[in-house]
């Protein structure tokens, strides 16, 4: 799977569902991330308790650096319709386990202040 963000004009974030089945392009204000879970805006609707696998790729600060990508798995604990947008949901995902093999990559994402802000 190609994790390049150049597929969309000016996307900061790409979230791949099930490691490439589908993807959604977004911006830094569409995601909030920490070591326990992930909140993101999406066109996908999930039932509570659904276990999903995602790959999250963030555009680097410098254009010559490759995107930071992390594979994550979790359980949907919230999926609420956002009525201010057409067919958009705010999804809250609680990580299934700590995924020690991705700990370093996850910390590269969570250390980015633009990913740690509140969703607007």
| Residues 12-60: tens digit of each pLDDT | 889 999 867 899 998 888 888 877 888 998 889 999 999 999 998 888 7
CB-side neighbour CA atoms (13 Å) of 63: 3
The closest of 29, 10, 40 to 113, measured between CA atoms, is 29
- Would you place residue 1 in the very low, low, confident or very high pLDDT band (cuts 50, 70, 90)? very low
Question: Among 120, 106, 104, which Cα is nearest to 54's?
Answer: 106
* Domain chopping of the chain, boundaries: 5-113
Tell me which CATH homologous superfamily contains domain 5-113.
predicted glycosyltransferase like domains (2.40.10.220)
> Who wins on pLDDT, 109 or 72?
72
What's the rounded Cα separation, in Å, for the pair 55 and 21?
11
Provide the whole-model pTM.
Answer: 0.74
Rg of the chain taking only CA atoms, in angstroms = 13
Q: How many other C-beta atoms lie within 10 A of the C-beta of residue 12? A: 20
Q: What is the pLDDT of residues 53-102, one digit of tens each?
A: 999 888 876 776 777 888 889 999 999 998 876 778 999 999 887 554 55
Query: Which pLDDT does position 47 carry in this prediction?
Result: 96
């Amino acid at each position: 799977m190609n994790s390049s963000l150049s597929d969309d004009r000016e996307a900061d974030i790409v979230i791949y569902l099930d490691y490439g089945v589908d993807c959604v392009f977004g911006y830094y204000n569409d995601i909030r991330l920490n070591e326990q879970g992930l909140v993101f805006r999406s066109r996908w609707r999930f039932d509570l308790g659904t276990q999903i696998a995602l790959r999250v790729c963030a555009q680097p600060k410098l254009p010559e650096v490759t995107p930071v990508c992390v594979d994550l798995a979790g359980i949907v604990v919230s999926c609420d319709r956002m009525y201010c947008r057409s067919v958009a949901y705010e999804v809250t995902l609680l990580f299934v386990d700590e995924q020690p093999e991705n700990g370093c990559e996850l910390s590269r994402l969570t250390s980015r202040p633009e990913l740690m802000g509140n969703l607007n």
